[in-house]
């Protein structure tokens, strides 16, 4: 009989209710025992992602859209190029399953999204580590699709390792699996007499300590996934209320560790009684994690009316921006990673500026003070090194070595690239940064403090406007598919956007309120939200998932 299944995989960690042992998950702990995801000693950027089938497509989306976060690399089992489906059901089930996608098509989509700021710069992919697996016996995602993914990554200068010589079926490959190599059947984890996890972990992090072959040395921890959505409703976006993370004892005690995000596939989620903890305990990752300091994040999907097999959103069943940083599932996973690595994300930025001109303005991601005199320019920024890099004041990579951050312009070594190392940078002249403590002595004629609140919403159509009243200025600008609304005032901040043919909404998160627009227009019969997908439901989710063909 025919059946449809997609598989995804991703790694991360946190803290909540602890379930002892790698093989002792109790289903009763799935939701009631889940606590808040914790923070560990993992450097920002020391993160990789891996996935199979729908999880493979999702892993590519995350790696490309958040290439500044998943700096260690991506491992893809049976996936395809970035935004392969292009929000279209038929494309997902044909071109992206058994067709021959044109890599250049997806390169153009990627370049456009990067240009509009909807994803990270593609320059991050130059030299990126990518490991790929495609079996000759895989009739679900054929090798022609993975070949296109190889070409796609090579176009951007990634270092690609591609194993396409095995006769494996459609599955995640692990030495812990009981399924034979060539089958395509539940739980979709196959043993092909190769340690795939050792291969890609070595490519991402270098030589490894021998894996643990005895009793587990870590804990599986249940955590609440609701908090990573603006509406606090994970199941409303087809994620389960509970995710899982594997934390070795060394990482739990504060040792420096690494992070892997592992994405399961369709029907491979923990909530599927026929699968249970198989993916979490048989992926082959936890044993390497014990001896090498890897925290493994296992986010979990669930079924919904528009996603009946618990696939990851790589075709748009949840929202039209599914492949961009603003996609609901994409952003939720990014927030999980940020929590684990200690990165603080906020929508409110406060800046203090000292100037001699009422027309001068400063926008920063941290605390800033500055002086301009007689055509000169100077600003001082004190922030952690991670935020300095994200704001463009510092960089990583050559000639900055040893995992350090260096100032743009002077290349001053600022120390480790993380959220703990604080550095004060002086910008003078504009665009040139150096380590310092203050601007050169000068006479400032006026001092002002302001609070700037910036919020962004996705919109397909919109209008731009600027209104000035007294000391308060509100501006709205639309670029491509992204709308940014910013309001500055010496006493208060508000934001608003307007859009033609769109519905408006207000979301409150972390103490800030964002008011924006979301276009509900669908493309090719694929709506932007689950409520818009009645067409997909009527088709019985035809093309919303990869089809697994297996006989019984």
Known catalytic residues? 53, 138, 170
Strands 242-248 and 218-224: antiparallel
244's torsion region: left (phi>0), alpha (psi -120 to 50) or beta? beta
d(CA 294, CA 285): 9
Residue 272: how many CA atoms within 13 Å on its side-chain side? 25
Give the Å distances, CA to CA, from 509 to 227, 345, 515: 9, 11, 11
Instruction: Kindly report the three-state secondary structure assignment for every residue of 364-392.
Output: CCCEEEEECCCCCCEEEEEEEHHHHHHCC
Are 438 and 448 in contact by the 8 Å Cβ rule? The answer is no
Contacts of 418 (CB under 8 A, 6+ apart): 43, 44, 342, 384, 385, 386
Q: How far is CA 508 from the centre of its chain?
A: 21
CA–CA distance, 254 with 403 (Å, rounded to integer): 19
DSSP state of 29: G
Residues 6 or more apart whose CB falls under 8 angstroms from that of 424 comprise 380, 381, 382, 435, 436, 437
Instruction: Report yes or no: 71 and 121 within 8 Å, Cβ to Cβ.
Output: no
**Residue showing tokens 């790589």:** 314
Q: What are the structure tokens assigned to 224, written together?
A: 């609440």
**Number of other CB atoms surrounding residue 59 within 10 Å:** 30
Whole-number CA gyration radius for the chain: 24
Residue 68 CA to residue 542 CA, distance in Å, equals: 35
**Does residue 390 come out as left (phi exceeding 0), alpha (psi in the -120 to 50 range) or beta?**
alpha
Cβ–Cβ under 8 Å, residues 166 and 180:
no
At residue 350, the 3 state secondary structure works out as strand
From residue 447, alpha-carbon distances to 139, 171, 372 in Å are: 67, 63, 11
Q: How many residues are present in the chain?
A: 552
Give CA 430 to chain center in angstroms.
Answer: 32
The torsion angles phi and psi of 94, rounded to 5 degrees, stand at -115, -75
The DSSP element (H or E) to which 63 belongs, if any, is helix 54-65
């Amino acid at each position: 009989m025919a059946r449809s299944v997609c598989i995804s995989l991703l790694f991360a960690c946190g803290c909540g209710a602890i379930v002892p042992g790698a093989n002792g998950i109790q289903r009763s702990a799935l939701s009631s025992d889940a606590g808040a995801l914790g923070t560990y000693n993992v450097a920002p950027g020391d993160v990789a992602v891996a996935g199979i089938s729908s999880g493979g497509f999702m892993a590519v989306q995350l790696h490309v859209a958040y290439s500044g976060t998943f700096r260690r690399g991506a491992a893809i089992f049976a996936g395809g190029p970035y935004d392969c489906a292009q929000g279209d059901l038929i494309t997902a089930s044909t071109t992206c399953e058994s067709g021959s996608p044109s890599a250049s098509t997806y390169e153009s989509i990627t370049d456009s999204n990067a240009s509009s700021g909807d994803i990270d710069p593609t320059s991050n992919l130059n030299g990126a580590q990518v490991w790929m697996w495609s079996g000759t016996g895989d009739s679900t995602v054929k090798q022609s699709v993975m070949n296109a993914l190889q070409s796609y990554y090579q176009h951007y200068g990634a270092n690609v390792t591609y194993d396409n010589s095995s006769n494996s079926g459609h599955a995640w490959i692990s030495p812990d699996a009981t399924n034979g190599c060539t089958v395509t059947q539940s739980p979709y984890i196959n043993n092909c007499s190769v340690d795939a996890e050792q291969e890609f972990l070595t490519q991402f992090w270098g030589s490894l300590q021998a894996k643990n072959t005895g009793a587990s040395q870590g804990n599986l921890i249940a955590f609440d996934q609701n908090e990573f959505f603006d509406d606090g409703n994970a199941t409303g976006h087809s994620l389960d209320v509970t995710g899982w993370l594997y934390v070795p004892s060394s990482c739990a005690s504060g040792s420096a560790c690494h992070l892997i995000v592992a994405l399961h596939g369709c029907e491979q989620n923990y909530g599927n009684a026929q699968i249970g903890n198989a993916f979490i305990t048989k992926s082959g990752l936890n044993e390497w994690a014990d001896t090498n300091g890897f925290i493994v994040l296992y986010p979990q999907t669930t079924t919904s009316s528009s996603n009946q097999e618990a696939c990851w959103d790589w075709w748009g069943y949840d929202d039209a921006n599914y492949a961009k940083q603003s996609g609901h599932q994409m952003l939720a996973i990014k927030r999980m990673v940020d929590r684990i690595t200690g990165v603080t994300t906020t929508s409110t930025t406060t800046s203090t500026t000292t100037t001699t001109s009422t027309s001068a303005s400063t926008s920063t991601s941290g605390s800033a003070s500055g002086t301009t005199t007689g055509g000169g320019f100077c600003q001082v920024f004190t922030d952690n090194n991670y935020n300095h890099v994200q704001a463009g004041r510092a960089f990583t990579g050559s000639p900055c070595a040893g995992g350090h951050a260096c100032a743009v312009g002077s290349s001053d070594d600022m120390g480790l690239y993380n959220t703990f190392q604080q550095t004060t940078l002086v910008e003078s002249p504009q665009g040139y940064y150096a380590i310092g403590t203050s601007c050169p002595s000068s006479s400032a004629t006026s001092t002002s403090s302001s609070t700037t609140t910036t919020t962004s919403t996705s919109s397909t159509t919109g209008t731009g406007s600027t209104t000035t009243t007294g000391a308060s200025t509100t501006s709205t600008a639309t670029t491509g598919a992204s709308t940014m609304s910013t309001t500055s005032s010496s006493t208060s901040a508000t934001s608003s956007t307007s859009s033609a043919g769109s519905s408006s909404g207000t979301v409150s998160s972390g103490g800030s309120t964002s008011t924006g627009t979301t276009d509900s227009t669908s493309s090719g019969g694929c709506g932007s939200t689950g409520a818009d997908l009645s067409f997909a439901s009527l088709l019985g989710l035809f093309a919303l998932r990869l089809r697994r063909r297996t006989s019984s």
